[in-house]
């Protein structure tokens, strides 16, 4: 069944492409030639956290992977392929893992409730909860605990990116990419850099996961 909103998409597309061509008649031709993004962005699928919009970056600037709660799982061929391609072929300079306060995926992982198939995905976040249980359990305010788990999940996924051979090999050889952890605050629209020290994080991870 079609809806008014659905039909509108093609009208909006037409208006958008015309405005782009008006600014630069070569716009689409140039983009078609190839991509050279500086960033790989790994974020949440949440409709309220659109990568290009919140960063203010243009078409072609971001290579993007999104899933529920911005999880970087070693068993997920999808994200592992994205990371490999971004690092080895596109040679991105920065990889960003961006979580967000108010994340439904993180919230669900804090609840003692089953979500069917989603349970195995949320298990990645429950593991982050377990690894940090002591720190989290002393936070009595539920929303503060929830926000903290969002941040911890970002840090954990940053480490998971660093654990990959593609990132370690490239950094060793080229000095890039560096990996960053961000949180997007939906209430204010603000992007927060968690200021993760990439070098020391890499050293820490490599105590066990050095594969280059
Ligand atoms: Zn989310």
Position 2 pLDDT exceeds 80? no
131 as an active site residue: the answer is: no
Q: Which residues surround ligand 1, an ion (CB under 5 A)?
A: 44, 46, 103, 105
Tell me how far the alpha carbon of residue 43 lies from the centroid of ligand 1, in angstroms: 8
Tens of pLDDT, residue by residue over 41-60, are: 999 999 999 999 999 999 99
- Per DSSP, which regions of the chain are E strands? 39-44, 62-67, 94-100, 178-185, 190-193
Question: Which residues lie closer than 8 Å to 37 by C-beta, 6 or more apart?
Answer: 60, 61, 62, 63, 86, 90, 92
pLDDT of residue 212: 72
- What's the distance, CA 99 to chain centroid? 7
Tens of pLDDT, residue by residue over 60-100, are: 999 999 999 999 999 999 999 999 999 999 999 999 999 99
Residue 35: count of CB within 10 angstroms of its CB = 12
Tens of pLDDT, residue by residue over 178-195, are: 999 999 999 999 999 999
Q: Which domains does the chain have, with CATH numbers?
A: 1-34 (no CATH), 35-209 (3.40.1050.10)
Q: What's this model's pTM, rounded to 2 decimal places?
A: 0.95
Tell me how far the alpha carbon of residue 183 lies from the centroid of ligand 1, in angstroms: 11
178-185 β-sheet, strand order: 62-67, 39-44, 94-100, 178-185, 190-193
Tell me how far the alpha carbon of residue 152 lies from the centroid of ligand 1, in angstroms: 14
């Amino acid at each position: 069944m079609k809806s008014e909103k659905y039909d509108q998409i093609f009208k909006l597309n037409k208006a958008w492409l015309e405005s782009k061509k008006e600014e630069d008649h070569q716009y689409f031709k140039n983009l078609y030639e190839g991509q050279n993004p500086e960033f790989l962005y790994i974020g949440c699928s949440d409709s309220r956290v659109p990568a290009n919009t919140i960063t203010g970056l243009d078409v072609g600037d971001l290579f993007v992977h999104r899933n529920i709660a911005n999880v970087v799982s070693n068993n997920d061929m999808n994200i592992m392929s994205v990371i490999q391609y971004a690092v080895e072929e596109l040679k991105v300079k920065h990889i960003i893992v961006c979580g967000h306060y108010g994340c439904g995926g993180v919230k669900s992982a804090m609840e003692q409730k089953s979500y069917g198939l989603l349970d195995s995905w949320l298990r990645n976040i429950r593991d982050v909860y377990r690894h940090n249980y002591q720190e989290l359990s002393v936070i009595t305010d539920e929303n503060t605990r929830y926000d903290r788990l969002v941040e911890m999940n970002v840090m954990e996924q940053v480490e998971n990116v660093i654990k990959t051979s593609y990132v370690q090999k490239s950094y060793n050889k080229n000095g890039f990419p560096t990996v960053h952890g961000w949180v997007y605050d939906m209430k204010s629209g603000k992007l927060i850099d968690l200021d993760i020290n990439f070098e020391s994080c890499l050293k820490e991870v490599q105590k066990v996961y050095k594969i280059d």
